[in-house]
């Protein structure tokens, strides 16, 4: 991962996606920002008890650090709905629109930054350079079990004409196999995923996401994984497993305005 600082914020970029000047992307850390208390740093999530003005200011900083654009935020529900909007839509998603209930977003509209907020769940960003379509997906264990990544690639194909073999993917910082402990996995996680179990009751959801993306048709070499565990790096990331009352970090991706 490439680490950058801008607007006094620290953020990561995926090496392959960073070679594409026509897109903007960033995985923000909690470094920088103006939140105090349990959400100290760059908390980008409303609804975790933080000061509203601080989150709004943090989001403005994040947009500037990412290179500009209008944020498109989702009301994430651990479901599998994918929100998509295209240049052909009569009315594109505007900054004033209410956040759609969805856990993934797909667009070909330049100047929009698709935001996924997390604190241990995966954010998985996708980009098809041939069709110039971006996606960002919130992928917790419920999303993984329901294969929301396969659904997102499906929307890119069906709605935007993307070919999976040209799509690039980046799996963001999230719970690693070191910390993804599921003591009740026998009742929570279907048996067909037990092959991803590590040790007694930990799971490797990074490998599962990689396999789901490959099954959707993405070439292995185009799938990047940050391999950074959110719970093991509390100075960099908010982690719900580490502290229930905490903030949210976020990943954004968008097509740059010409």
Residues contributing to the site for Zn ion (CB under 5 A): 176, 178-179, 229, 231-232
For the CB of residue 176, give the shortest distance to Zn ion in the complex, in Å.
4
For the CB of residue 239, give the shortest distance to Zn ion in the complex, in Å.
9
Gap between the Cα atoms of 19 and 2, Å rounded: 11
Which tokens is 202 given?
């930990």
For the CB of residue 238, give the shortest distance to Zn ion in the complex, in Å.
14
Nearer to Zn ion (CB atom), residue 2 or residue 178: 178
- In Å, what is the CA distance from 55 to each residue of 20, 47, 178? 29, 10, 30
Nearer to Zn ion (CB atom), residue 40 or residue 233: 233
For the CB of residue 177, give the shortest distance to Zn ion in the complex, in Å.
8
Nearer to Zn ion (CB atom), residue 70 or residue 232: 232
- Closest to 250 measured CA to CA, from 75, 3, 11: 11
Helices (H), the chain: 15-18, 52-66, 141-145, 148-160, 185-188, 205-215
Q: Report the phi/psi class of residue 35: left, alpha or beta, with left for phi > 0 and alpha for psi in -120 to 50.
A: beta
For the CB of residue 117, give the shortest distance to Zn ion in the complex, in Å.
20
Contacts of 62 (CB under 8 A, 6+ apart): 7, 9, 26, 28, 42, 44, 250, 252
Nearer to Zn ion (CB atom), residue 131 or residue 179: 179
Residue with tokens 């070439």: 219
- In Å, what is the CA distance from 2 to each residue of 11, 119, 245, 252? 8, 20, 29, 15
How do strand 223-225 and strand 168-171 relate by DSSP bridges? parallel
Nearer to Zn ion (CB atom), residue 18 or residue 232: 232
Nearer to Zn ion (CB atom), residue 132 or residue 231: 231
Nearer to Zn ion (CB atom), residue 145 or residue 232: 232
Specify whether the CB–CB gap between 254 and 24 falls below 8 A. yes
For the CB of residue 229, give the shortest distance to Zn ion in the complex, in Å.
3
In the DSSP assignment, the letter for residue 72 is E
For the CB of residue 181, give the shortest distance to Zn ion in the complex, in Å.
10
């Amino acid at each position: 991962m490439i680490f950058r600082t801008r607007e006094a914020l620290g953020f990561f970029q995926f090496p392959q996606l960073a070679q594409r000047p026509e897109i903007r992307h960033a995985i923000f850390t909690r470094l920088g920002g103006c939140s105090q208390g349990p959400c100290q740093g760059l908390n980008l999530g409303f609804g975790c008890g933080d000061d509203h003005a601080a989150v709004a200011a943090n989001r403005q900083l994040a947009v500037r650090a990412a290179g500009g654009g209008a944020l498109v935020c989702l009301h994430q529900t651990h479901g599998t709905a994918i929100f998509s909007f295209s240049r052909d839509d009569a009315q594109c998603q505007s900054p004033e629109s209410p956040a759609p209930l969805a856990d993934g977003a797909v667009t070909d509209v330049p100047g929009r930054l698709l935001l996924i907020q997390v604190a241990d769940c995966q954010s998985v960003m996708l980009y098809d350079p041939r069709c110039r379509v971006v996606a960002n997906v919130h992928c917790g264990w419920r999303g993984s079990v329901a294969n929301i990544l396969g659904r997102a690639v499906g929307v890119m194909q069906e709605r935007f004409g993307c070919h999976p073999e040209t799509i690039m993917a980046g799996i963001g910082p999230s719970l690693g196999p070191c910390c993804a402990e599921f003591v009740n996995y026998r009742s929570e996680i279907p048996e067909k995923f037990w092959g991803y179990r590590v040790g007694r009751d930990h799971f490797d959801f990074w490998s599962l996401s990689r396999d789901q993306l490959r099954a959707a048709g993405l070439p292995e070499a185009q799938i990047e994984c940050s391999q950074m565990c959110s719970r093991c790096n509390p100075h960099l990331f908010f982690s719900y497993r580490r502290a229930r009352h905490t903030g949210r970090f976020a990943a954004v991706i968008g097509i740059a305005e010409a």
